[in-house]
Amino acid sequence: MRAAWVDASAGIAGDMLLAALVDGGAALGTVRAAVEAVVPGEVRLDRTQVTRAGMRATRIHVTPSDDDHAHRT
């Protein structure tokens, strides 16, 4: 079993957290299923590889499935 500790006491961007999980070895399908369990049918997750300042990273694009979706605060 693997475990990860995320210290988000100063906040964290959701797309960056998802990308870090996938880049760390979590299956994208598993992450999609977890997001789907929270907000069913509301978002699509797409993975790309990017290079920033010479470093490779995973980027997760979170796209609303519908332009007329419920807004959360």
Per-residue pLDDT tens digits for 7-60:
889 999 989 999 999 998 999 999 999 999 998 888 899 999 999 999 999 999
The predicted structure's pLDDT at residue 70: 66
Q: Are 47 and 60 in contact (CB under 8 A)?
A: yes
Q: What does the pLDDT look like over 63-73, one tens digit per residue?
A: 988 766 667 77
Model-level pTM? 0.73
Position 37 scores a pLDDT of 96
Alpha carbon separation from 28 to 3, 34, 43, 70 (Å, rounded): 17, 10, 14, 24
**Nearest 10 degrees: Cα torsion 64, 73, 17, 6:** -160
**Domain ranges for the chain:** 14-64
- pLDDT greater than 70 at residue 2: yes
Query: Please, which residues bridge with residue 58 across strands?
Result: 49
